Structure 1
Amino acid sequence: MSAETTRRALAWAHGCLSVQSLGGMLGPVLFLLPDGRQVSPLHVAPWGNDPERETLPEILQQLRGEWPCVPFGSDTNRSLPAGWSATGESFEGAGVPHGHGSNVHWTWGDCDVRQITMECHYPDDHPIRLLRRRIVPDQSAAAIDITLEIEARRPCRLPIGLHPTFRLSPRPGSVVIEPGAYDRVWSVPGDVEPGAALFTPDRQWSSLDKAEARCGATMDATQVPLMEDTEDLLQLSGIDGSVALHYRDEGFRARLSWQKEHFPSLLLWYSNRGRKAYPWDGRHVALGVEPIASAFDLGPSISTAANPLAASGIATAIAFEPGHTFTTRYRLSVEAARLG
């Protein structure tokens, strides 16, 4: 790594949290439920102490928890079906996976017993100048409030997103995805991982529990982990800014809420033993639950071009202007829930 990862931690009456400089990633987080149980819903990738991780892209080296992606996704050569194009806005650095801030060390700001703040300066030729991040535990609840500020260097349109990644219990179907109200479900126009796709590509459905698999069967995509070894994405458009994960075997529910006017879609990343190469090694099981203004993770040149999601009225990019700070707020919380 180009610099040593440093960390800051906070404890409060309802839990404790850790934040790392690399990627500005939050995790792990331990919440204390009212009945005295401790639960830790955010994912930490299993290779974090492996010396070989230094050969990986920075975003993967100590992958964990939650962080912002500006821009979301990355530009790369893709084979696209009819209706999709890569004719939108691009720039130097648009090929960096999930943006500059996901791959460098952030600078610590004010960190005390009530908050952790940090910022990330972008390269001089990048359309974005600066990201700021503020993480504040709710002193009265098992919850964390997060603020993201984005400052632009020049006028631009970019896909952006948040990247909470949750751990999953080992038993298939032991965690239930409970999204708020949404309009439709979209499958990615291609393969996320060659040979590991599950859902019929470039399709739309009315409900997440009626997704179509490539074998022709209809499946319930709310029940995770999935039985199948797969690496795939589904996007819920027009969502109301809320989602919960019910950990049925552990008796708790994790909730995420955000400003729907900023992130009108929720991207679900099913990382379900589908990637066989290092560091995934066919063992990685986690669920990305990612509020976005983006077309999947297809990058700026596709998300800012004409695309089926945008044609349906769903924003797949945000406009930024110098001198105007974009501010968005979101919240992660947990609560006790029934078993089974």
Structure 2
Amino acid sequence: MTDEAACIADRAGNAALLPHFAPHPQGLQTAGGRVVALDDNERELIGRCAEAECHVDAVSDAERASLQRLVEAGYLLLLPPPAAVPTAPVDVVLSPHIDDAALSLGGAIALRGGVARTLVLNIFSSQSYQTGLRVPAERLDAIALAEDRLAGRLLGYHGHCLGLRGAQDRHRLGVASVMGWSAAAVLAQSQLRDDIELVTGQAAAAIGAALGRAPIADLFAPAAIGGHLDHVIVALAAPHIAARLGVPAERIVLYEDLPYAAADLGGGVALHGRVARLADITATAAIKRSALTVFKTRLRAPQIALCMAHAGRAAKAGAAERRFVTPGVFDMEQP
């Protein structure tokens, strides 16, 4: 078993079939239609895990080798037991796309899981151009939502999706055209100012409905490093969202956008006096990596490797995530 699989297995309670696969008489079938042949034990486990999460303790000794093979092949995912919901104030993460919170803050979210609730609001969560798995367009959003639920189980967050379309869809832009935007360039266009207003209204309403009277501890937003149009829009909307929710401006934390920061792309919104701080995620780096592998509709192995290598370079030892905070308000050397 790999080090990562062992780390997850230590805290695993259940095994679940990833949403990119379905049982097939010969074994399983990918969302793109390819059939993968499996042996009898593996087919039986796939069937059980497709119907409901399979309790790992209920797996016989004879089946454990099959379970390990299916996990390491990326068909099954080991999940921790459902955790009690902390009663502390809630951390809210504004995630431009469905994988951004896990990419930029996954390690810190996992560390805080026992002491804080985390709500991740995925804003531009509908992206029809994410076709790497050859998933039929009509199934893509549903599979992405299932990815988010499983990653949330691993990292300890609750995800909510606004379902807004990504910039490539709503503005008919090519891949290169969504990068390199500055705040000034976005604010100069009326249709993009409309995007900021739309995000502000829908995000504030969704967060308020999800949390009720629960107080917000910190509001996390992208620093928009790399200038992805959706990230810049969310970053510019963040102060307005905070104001509507009664969150003080100094409680807004800007996080480093990955994988763009790892690729040394420039840009970003004004930091307004914030300073860079590191959160040590050495203890949860393996869990973060496992969560990132769940986002098969969004992420590929080289992107994940790039982000994890960046976390290693950021830390003096181990792994770290970088964010930008108001001096004197946070001690962000701790998550």
Whether these two folds match at TM > 0.5 is: no
Say which one has the larger Rg.
2
TM-score (norm 2): 0.29
TM-score with structure 1 setting the length: 0.28
Higher helix share: 2
